[in-house]
Amino acid sequence: MAILQTENLTKSFGGLTAVDHINLVVEANCITSIIGPNGAGKTTLFNLITGILKPDSGKISFGGEDITNLPIHKIVSKGISRSFQVLNLYDELSVEENIWIGIQAHQGHGKELFSHVNRLPAVKERTYEIIRVIGLAGKENETVKFLPYGERRLLELALSLTLEPSLLLLDEPMSGLGADERPRILEFIRDLSQRVSMILVEHDMDAVMSISERIAVMYQGRLLAEGTPEEIKQNDEVQDAYLGGLR
């Protein structure tokens, strides 16, 4: 069953067509990766899905509902959340405070920022639930700027969960990670995919091939191919345009 679908989605900047009549189907309860060379249109597609950009033409459906021209906050309220390649954290605050802020705002307590924990038991419960999920129990009081990069990346992914999404878009979650940190992030993403549908943009092909159930390949704004990891590996057109012998 599809959770998200685009129909002839198109976006141009001047004379450059960044997204060219994309027809993409994202299945529920599935990890779908979008790959392609730099400039293929992957980030523009993400920005269209999340409402940062509006398409010139085409349609985006989420859960069977047309969300094409909805503002960002409405799209978020429907259940779409996104992480970014560049970490976006409150470095001077603790792990708990970073997550608390997101949950408190999502639950409609924005004007009571950092209210006493006993006044907002639901926020407290959800905060510690997410801390356990991301494997940072015991570090909730640590200042974020002192965490290892891999744990900072986990925290950034956790902030996307504070919005309680049903579809999570991850923009290069492996970016900047050392070899020793990658297995932990991959395992977290695998575990998380049991509860949240995901779309990944990622350049680490080892990670993509090991974690994805479906892969969509973009090239010069077009959708070049879709399929399982094995089908993408065996696709001659994809090999010539991007993978370059990964087969």
Chain segment 71-92, per-residue pLDDT in tens: 998 999 999 998 766 567 888 9
CA angle, 163 as apex, 157 and 168 as ends, to 5°? Answer: 55
Q: How many CB atoms lie within 10 A of CB 35?
A: 26
Strands (E), the chain: 2-13, 16-27, 31-35, 57-62, 65-66, 80-83, 167-171, 197-201, 214-219, 222-227
Structure tokens at 82: 């996104």
Give percent helix, percent strand, percent coil of the chain, each to the nearest 5: 40, 25, 35
- Give this prediction's pTM: 0.84
pLDDT digit string, tens, across residues 87-133: 678 889 999 988 888 888 766 655 455 555 556 778 888 888 888 88
Q: Calculate the CA dihedral of residues 18, 170, 165, 81 and round it to 10 degrees.
A: -50
